[in-house]
Amino acid sequence: MAESKDEAPARPDWLPAGCEMLADGAYDAIIMGTGLKEAVISGLLSTKGMKVLHVDRNSWYGGDCASLNLTNLYGKFRAGADPPPSLGHPTRDYNVDLIPKFIMACGNLVKMLLLTKVTRYLEFKNVDGSYVYKQGKILKVPATPDEALRSSLMGLFEKRRFRKFLIWISNYEEDKPATYEGLDLKVLSMRQVYEHYGLDENTQSFIGHAMALQRDETYLNLPALDAVKSIQLYCYSLERYGKSPYIYPMYGLGGLPEGFSRLCAVHGGTFMLQCPVEEILFDGEGKAWGIKATIDGVPQVAKAPIVVGDPSYFPKEKVRCYGRVVRSICILDHPIPNTADAESTQIIIPGRQVGRTEDIYVCMVSFSHNVAAAGKYIAIASTTVETADPISELAPAFEMIGPVLERFDAVSEAFEPVGSGAADSCYVSASYDATSHFETTSQDILDLYERITGSKLSLEINADTTEADD
């Protein structure tokens, strides 16, 4: 915190009496929280030439979507208890995600990584397999016409129908009516498309939940275009690396916000971890104009016309709770049974299979991603809460995962902003939902970016996007 003492800059007139300047004082944007959404936004604003101050109350990057070492994990879930030495090194061996998600290989987050060149700070692995739960069994999701023919998920005739459906999906192009084969996806519902191909309810269930990644059954009655595009994204992503449509960064998801934070810093952004933000400052018209934090007993203030942050930094009236998510982090000394000893895997339990509405997700990664000690695996089960006993809702997942060395449960309220930010200059991101991939997260980032800048972020990847520039 060594600030130069040899120059005493004139005290700016906006600085409240009794306060010092926080960092450089005046910024174009202040970002609170270093979760992925905030980190992408600060990186993007900074590359646009805006002067960004990025603060976080924690001593680590990542906010709610950090990857924690054992010491920090126990600090969060088992206050006062030390991690047992049998698990491994307390600060070196583990990077446990708080929010479990995989990255769709051709999804919008990958486009953002390429566009910003943050990809050069990270290395990934293809997730070994994606599975779906059916009548007590875990079955691999077939997503190519060939795999479909070998799958034990359906009978012989259904396989042929499914294969036909997949071929149609892979040829479909929105701007080429010749590929429609008579199906107008803006008019027909997904249910009607399934019926057109004669697909039974079982097949519908795994297409909808394991491929189109719908969380419940509402999509069945909506125009089919969105669901078809989701299935295409799944198939293209699968083709990209071969084993599953998902990729996962070495050392855990926490590398993502760290990478985007670095992008921001490289373009001149100021970073302050362990910054105890205590207040957002509002003017007479209710517009946010700055933040206040007291450091070493000295109240400090920074100002900016744009104040961005995750819901935990804003007054209660700026956000509303839209649901609750239960997540359970399990440390294992074995892979999940019946997944061909995969070192990483995703399992989707369609809600209907276990008598509920919302799907249950299990994401498992392991030592092979440098997120756990040798021979250890991390499986995280999550779902949107439907009952008064959220942990019990994950029972089908626990049964599948098998014996655990340690389990850490958390039920979090999920918040979303009340306003767009236009009226109060408060640009609030939404909490992370229970989905097992980053597509909704990316959508929220795009939405936040548009609210802040007034323009849409183009995700067109140009040929020069990854050329070295320095």
Q: Which residues bind another protein (CB under 8 A)?
A: 1-2, 4, 23, 60-61, 91, 106, 110-111, 113-114, 119-125, 173-175, 232, 236-237, 239-240, 247, 250-251, 254-255, 258-259, 261-262, 265-273, 275, 368, 461, 463, 465-466, 470
Q: How far is the CB of 201 from another protein (least distance, A)?
A: 30
Which CB sits closer to another protein, 17 or 463?
463
Cβ burial of 348 (10 Å; 0-12, 13-18, 19+) is: buried
Which CB sits closer to another protein, 214 or 270?
270
* DSSP, res 212: S
Three-class SS of residue 468?
A: coil
Q: How far is the CB of 419 from another protein (least distance, A)?
A: 30
Q: How many residues does the chain have?
A: 470
Q: How far is the CB of 324 from another protein (least distance, A)?
A: 30
Q: How far is the CB of 25 from another protein (least distance, A)?
A: 14
CA 411 to chain centre: 17
The torsion defined by the Cα of 363, 368, 373 and 374, in degrees rounded to 10, comes to 130
Q: How far is the CB of 429 from another protein (least distance, A)?
A: 20
Which CB sits closer to another protein, 123 or 279?
123
- Residue (of 449, 451, 410, 349) closest to 116 by Cα position: 449
Query: Rounded distance, CA 101 to CA 22, Å?
Result: 35
Which CB sits closer to another protein, 400 or 457?
457
Which CB sits closer to another protein, 266 or 423?
266
Q: How far is the CB of 103 from another protein (least distance, A)?
A: 9
DSSP assignment of 116-173:
HTGGGG--EEE-SEEEEEETTEEEE---SHHHHHH-SSS-HHHHHHHHHHHHHHHH--
Which CB sits closer to another protein, 77 or 121?
121
Side chain identity, residue 51: K
